[in-house]
Structure 1
């Protein structure tokens, strides 16, 4: 994969992470287990 594509993926991943973070309960992201559960839930729901 070329550098331009990698940069695009990184930019999109950061934007997606910001959007999903806004939709996550703040209490859930206080622990690693909570973060893992939140990420898994978002992936299952949206991907």
Structure 2
């Protein structure tokens, strides 16, 4: 939610970098919903998990 709504928005590359770092540190659960900018956060998670 924080990447696209309710807080100052993060640039796309920064959001993906944060998600990638989270994955590197062992975080495995990302909770998102369509209400947060119509799946935009899902797209960030997809891009971070792609590699």
TM-score (norm. length: structure 1): 0.35
Q: Which has the higher helix share?
A: 1
Higher relative contact order (CA 8 A, sep 6+): 2
Which structure would you say has the larger Rg?
1
TM-score (norm. length: structure 2): 0.33
